[in-house]
Amino acid sequence: MQRKIFLTYTLLFLVGIIITGLLSLGFMQKSYMENTEDKLVAYGNLINGFLRQRTYEDKLQQLDYSRLAYEYSQEINARVTFINLTGQVIGDSEVKPENIQKIENHLYRPEIQEALSGKVGKSKRTSSTTDVNYIYVAVPLMLDGQIYTITRLAFPLTEINRINFMLMQNVLIAAFCGMIVATILGYRYVNSVTKPIKEITRTAQNIANGALNNRVYVNTSDEIKILADTFNIMTEKLNETISELWDKNTKLQSTLASMNEALFAIDKSYKIMLMNPVAKALFRIENEQVMGKHILEVIRNNKLHDVLQDILNSNHIGQREITIDYPEPKILKIYTNFIRLDMDPNRIIGVMALIQDVTEMRKLEKMRSDFVANVSHELKTPLTSITGFIETLKNGAIDNEKVRNRFLDIIEIETERLSRLIDDLLSLSAIEHDRLSFTKEKIKVNEAIKEIREMVDGLAKQKKIKISFELDGSLPEIYGNPDWFKQMMINLVDNAIKYTQEGGGVKVLAYKRYENIIITVKDTGIGIPKEDIPRLFERFYRVDKARSKKAGGTGLGLAIVKHIVLSFDGEIKVNSELGKGSEFIVRIPLS
């Protein structure tokens, strides 16, 4: 800006100097020309006066006009020519007397014609005699009221041009000196004018970069001072407004970030107005800048878009439940409401959507439903058998000792099965309920596994199964519930023995790897199909229901194992091949 003002100022000043110089030069040239003409007229009248005086001493015809012309010319520094009434040159200061006759007739010269009419004739042209540009002044010599001769004076224009050139030089020199002085003064003036503007600009840039506490300070008392004060007031209000908006935005963002549900808002063009971190995590949105983008550009899900479209088109809000496949299969419950303007509540500008991921809830509900159904089935089957046998005994079979004893044995087996089922249910419930709140105790892994060995040896011998234990002698202690740890080991080893044919083998290994205790229970039993492995730890899930019931299983053993492993913050894996056996690997971290 300073440069523009300075250049504009300099250009205007230069134009002013040029116009002033040209006008001044033209005025001086015109003044000099008029002055020269007046001088020539005065000299002409003076010469004519001298010629009149001679009429009293000599006759005019006897005068030596060539000599007089030369003498007068020397006195006034101008060319002097005498011309008679017929236009004949009778004397010229620039022409020798012997060449006077060679000069062409001047009768039709403009200045001569004007002088012959009794006036002072004037003209400018190139002389045909000397080939020099002259300004001519012709003054008639009047004797007794009649024109006798014409006295013509000429001043060379080259001299006038020389003087004009000198004048122009002086004007240019003066303009140049004035330009230098004006440039220096103008620069200082422009600098003093633009310095406050620069200060305002610098402060505005700092404010734009976030330094809202900056203010403008100028030492002027003109409009710039008013501008600076107004700018400071505006900045103060802007700072207050931004601080208020920042505070509100911070509270809003904190509120959105602390929500457990996904929340987003779109306008009527389906462009995102708001989205909290939970919504971004739900739909796996990595781009932070989602505001203003179309909903399908950010959340690539047509089902969600259709729901929002239906709401905007039908003006029907409420709650809906949809199932999505991307980015992963989920069941979402959507609560929607319209966004209205505070100033115009009847105007709808968008839709707010609150989304709950109810996938796990629906899975739990299904699991609960399946659990109730399974428990009912598991309880109903033995109870039905017991009831049937009791009714048969009541109807007379009790008198038949052989039938009675066989029925009582079956009732006893079913009762034991019910007892085991109830015990497992109670154990599973206790583990699930107390998994995060029980008191942890030291567990000596080697000693606990040795106790388990003594408990399962008898069962292995009954089925003629070779069972072996390979324990690292320096296993560190772990922390947890000792009874649960033993329950986990019993269930794993018992399962391995149950599903291993006679003559097979079961191997139990325990060792330390890095900061973990690894326990492996491996058998050479019937194995597990690959498609059944993912569901192996579900409650009441059996790979072969007939064989499991025959083996006396309740379908809860591995579910109990899984929850006990989780109570140790560990994990369990299964490797199995149908017909070749199974391997259960438990990892328990030491810390």
The two three-digit tokens of residue 47, written as one number = 């010469």
- The secondary element (H helix, E strand) that includes residue 28 is helix 2-54
* Matching fold, domains 2-162 and 260-356: yes
> Where is pLDDT greater, at 551 or 36?
36
> Where is pLDDT greater, at 445 or 410?
445
Number of residues that this document lists for the chain: 591
Contact 43, 51 (CB under 8 A): no
Confidence band of 427 (pLDDT split at 50, 70, 90):
low
Residue 376 has pLDDT above 70, yes or no: no
Closest among 36, 18, 66 to 158, alpha carbons compared? 36
Answer yes or no: CATH 3.30.750.200 is held by domain 363-434.
no
Give 116-162 pLDDT, tens digit per residue.
888 999 888 887 776 778 889 999 988 878 888 899 998 887 766 77
> Distance between CA atoms of 553 and 494, rounded to whole angstroms?
10
Mean pLDDT score, 36-61: 78
Mean pLDDT score, 260-284: 85
Closest among 456, 372, 386 to 418, alpha carbons compared? 386
Mean pLDDT score, 443-456: 88
Give 160-186 pLDDT, tens digit per residue.
677 777 777 877 787 778 778 777 777
Mean pLDDT score, 426-453: 75
What letter represents residue 214's amino acid? Answer: N
Q: What is the pLDDT of residue 547?
A: 46
Question: Counting beta carbons within 10 angstroms of the beta carbon of residue 141, is it exposed (0 to 12), middle (13 to 18) or buried (19 or more)?
Answer: buried
> Where is pLDDT greater, at 292 or 426?
292
Question: Tokens 């010229």 appear where?
Answer: 92
Give 450-483 pLDDT, tens digit per residue.
888 888 888 888 888 999 999 988 888 898 888 8
Contact 10, 114 (CB under 8 A): no
DSSP state letter for 78: S
Contact 488, 572 (CB under 8 A): no
Q: What average pLDDT does the chain have?
A: 80
| CA 460 centroid distance within chain | 72
Residue 544 has pLDDT above 70, yes or no: no
What CATH number matches the domain at 2-162, 3.30.450.20, 3.30.1490.20, 3.40.50.980, 1.10.287.470? 3.30.450.20
Q: What is the dihedral of CA 434, 436, 439, 440, to 10 degrees?
A: 120
Closest among 63, 81, 84 to 72, alpha carbons compared? 81
Contact 428, 560 (CB under 8 A): yes
Tell me the CATH number for domain 441-589. 3.30.565.10
Residue 377 has pLDDT above 80, yes or no: no
> Where is pLDDT greater, at 542 or 60?
542
3-class state of residue 48 by DSSP: helix
3-class state of residue 368 by DSSP: helix
Contact 436, 568 (CB under 8 A): no
Mean pLDDT score, 86-97: 88
Q: How far is CA 321 from CA 261, 264, 280, 357, 366, in A?
A: 15, 16, 19, 10, 16
Q: Measured at the alpha carbon of residue 340, what is the angle toward residues 334 and 342, in degrees to the nearest 5?
A: 140
CATH architecture of the domain 260-356 equals 2-Layer Sandwich (3.30)
Closest among 264, 298, 290 to 279, alpha carbons compared? 264
Mean pLDDT score, 361-365: 76
Mean pLDDT score, 18-45: 80
The two three-digit tokens of residue 416, written as one number = 């034991």
Residue 573 has pLDDT above 90, yes or no: yes
Cis geometry, peptide bond prior to residue 327 (ω within 30 degrees of 0): yes
> Distance between CA atoms of 377 and 490, rounded to whole angstroms?
26
Residue 51 has pLDDT above 60, yes or no: yes
Q: How far is CA 423 from CA 60, 184, 234, 546, in A?
A: 170, 106, 77, 21
> Distance between CA atoms of 436 and 245, rounded to whole angstroms?
43
Closest among 26, 139, 131 to 76, alpha carbons compared? 139
Domain ranges of the chain: 2-162, 217-258, 260-356, 363-434, 441-589
Q: What is the pLDDT of residue 546?
A: 44
Phi/psi-derived region of residue 172, left when phi > 0, alpha when psi is between -120 and 50, beta in every other case: alpha
Question: Tokens 């922390």 appear where?
Answer: 479
Q: What is the pLDDT of residue 97?
A: 86
Give 306-360 pLDDT, tens digit per residue.
888 888 787 778 788 888 877 778 888 888 888 888 777 788 888 888 888 888 8
Percent of the chain scoring above 90 in pLDDT: 8
Mean pLDDT score, 41-47: 88
Mean pLDDT score, 272-290: 83
The two three-digit tokens of residue 358, written as one number = 């109810």
Give 485-539 pLDDT, tens digit per residue.
888 898 899 889 988 998 899 999 999 988 899 999 999 998 888 888 888 887 7
The two three-digit tokens of residue 267, written as one number = 């306008």
